[in-house]
């Protein structure tokens, strides 16, 4: 998909989003180094000690508070001696690392490593603040994306910056293909030896090569087509006709939908509904992980269709129905938001939908 020239704001937004995820990756790596050092050098006793001090003396200074040699070394012993209840931590070493980075403790041996992790976290927050301010200039965010639970400023900014301008996608199938939102993909090979990953078969090679002083498509005939029954992924030696940054971003959106309340989130409700359908349809055929993956792909594909339709209508561009709805008579799920929006109706959980949700929760708990 050839990209039209971006305007200045979209260009700035894309750069900020890419920098945000680069800094986030470095911050996570620095944080994990702190966690590893704590686990390997301090051990469980230091975590228990800090957790106990937090419970007993919330405003303590870890540099001034002496610790007696007979200090209890287990949560049970501390709770019994001091009569306090200390909750069990899911990830105690990460909890300890977070307190060090926030200045709630001091370990001289890794002072610089803790400082780096803290500075990266602050930089990540500042970049997020810039994204939050800049994305307010896009109506598709203020009137639509910001009204959907699970989509924050950074996720919305990524969608906008990697899709815009929406005019280059004449139908939703092109957007889905560009983002790799398919359950299967194709590996192609042309006469000149180019290997290609695409979401649909091609007759000629789309790889862009240098021809004289110009860059143009190869145009050689495709001589080998292989269908692969799983979503597209990067493979060494292959050219990809997919924007994997956008694909990853849509996957993040799907993960965020999973964490929403199905009574208050339109797309979480749709995710649960299709997941129950796939569970019955593919019982004994697919694993729970494969069913979950297909459910996420279906949900974000539906969301992509809604985003494409709303965005095109917002810019007064023609909108066509997807092939399964127009030609095959499939049910259409209209675009809706979780909060009041001037572009879409607000989704309100009906009595029938509420019953469907309760039955799903009961089945998950083993009550049905």
Write out pLDDT tens, residues 111-130.
Answer: 899 999 999 999 999 999 99
pTM over 0.85? The answer is no
CA-wise closest residue to 76 among 64, 63, 90, 86: 86
Predicted pLDDT at 58: 58
Spacing of C-alpha 108 from chain mean position: 36
Q: Tell me the torsion sign for CA atoms 43, 46, 48, 54.
A: negative
pLDDT in tens, 53-103: 666 655 555 544 445 555 556 667 766 766 666 666 677 788 888 888 888
* Residue 160 confidence (pLDDT): 95
Task: Please state the separation of Cα 82 from the chain's center in Å.
Answer: 43
Query: Which residues are registered as beta bridge partners of 186?
Result: 198, 227
Q: Which of 334, 333, 308, 310 is nearest to 176 (CA)?
A: 308
Task: List 322's β-bridge partners, or say none.
Answer: none
Rg over CA atoms, the chain: 26
Burial category of 253 from C-beta neighbours within 10 Å (exposed 0-12, middle 13-18, buried 19 and up): buried
The residue among 191, 186, 185 whose CA lies nearest residue 204 is: 191
Q: What is the pLDDT of residue 225?
A: 93
Q: Which of 108, 144, 55 is nearest to 339 (CA)?
A: 144
Say how far apart CA 9 and CA 133 lie, in whole Å.
Answer: 11
Task: Report the side by side order of strands in the sheet with 222-228.
Answer: 222-228, 185-190, 195-198, 239-240
Q: In whole angstroms, give the CA distance from residue 252 to residue 156.
A: 11
pLDDT (tens digit, 9 = 90+) per residue, 179-223?
988 878 899 999 999 999 998 888 899 898 887 788 888 989 999
What tokens does 130 get?
Answer: 């810039």
The larger pLDDT score, comparing residue 351 to residue 147, is at 147
pLDDT of the residue at 233: 87
- B/e letters for 18-33, b = 16+ CB within 10 Å, e = fewer, are eebbebbeebeebbeb
- Tell me how far apart the alpha carbons of residues 203 and 190 are, in angstroms, rounded to a whole number: 9
Tell me if residue 328 falls in helix, strand or coil.
coil
Phi, psi of 189 (to 5 degrees): -145, 135
């Amino acid at each position: 998909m050839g990209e039209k020239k971006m305007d200045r704001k979209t260009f700035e937004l894309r750069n900020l989003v890419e920098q945000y995820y680069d800094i986030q990756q470095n911050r996570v790596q620095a944080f994990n180094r702190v966690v590893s050092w704590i686990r390997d050098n301090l051990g469980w006793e230091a975590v228990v000690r800090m957790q106990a001090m937090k419970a007993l003396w919330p405003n303590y200074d870890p540099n001034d508070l002496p610790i007696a040699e007979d200090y209890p070394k287990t949560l049970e012993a501390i709770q019994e001696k001091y009569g306090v209840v200390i909750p069990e931590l899911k990830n105690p070493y990460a909890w300890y690392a977070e307190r060090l980075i926030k200045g709630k403790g001091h370990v001289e041996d890794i002072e610089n490593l803790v400082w780096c992790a803290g500075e990266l976290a602050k930089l990540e927050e500042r970049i997020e603040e810039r994204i939050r301010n800049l994305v307010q200039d896009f109506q598709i965010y203020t009137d639509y994306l910001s009204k959907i639970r699970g989509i924050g400023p950074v996720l919305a900014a990524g969608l906008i910056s990697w899709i815009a301008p929406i005019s280059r996608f004449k139908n939703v199938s092109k957007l889905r293909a560009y983002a790799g939102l398919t359950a299967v993909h194709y590996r192609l090979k042309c006469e000149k030896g180019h290997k290609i990953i695409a979401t649909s078969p091609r007759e000629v090679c789309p790889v862009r090569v240098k021809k004289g002083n110009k860059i143009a498509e190869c145009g050689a005939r495709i001589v080998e087509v292989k269908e692969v029954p799983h979503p597209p992924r990067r493979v060494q030696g292959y050219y990809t006709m997919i924007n994997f940054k956008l694909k990853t971003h849509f996957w993040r959106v799907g993960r965020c939908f999973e964490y929403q309340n199905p009574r208050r989130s339109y797309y979480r409700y749709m995710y649960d509904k299709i997941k129950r359908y796939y569970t019955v349809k593919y019982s004994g055929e697919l694993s729970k992980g494969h069913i979950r993956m297909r459910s996420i792909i279906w949900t974000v594909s539906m969301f992509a269709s809604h985003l494409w339709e709303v965005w095109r209508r917002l810019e007064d561009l023609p909108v066509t129905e997807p092939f399964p709805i127009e030609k095959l008579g499939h049910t259409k799920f209209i675009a809706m938001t979780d909060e009041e929006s001037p572009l879409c109706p607000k989704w309100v959980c009906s009595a029938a939908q509420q019953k469907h949700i309760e039955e799903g929760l009961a089945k998950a708990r083993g009550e049905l």
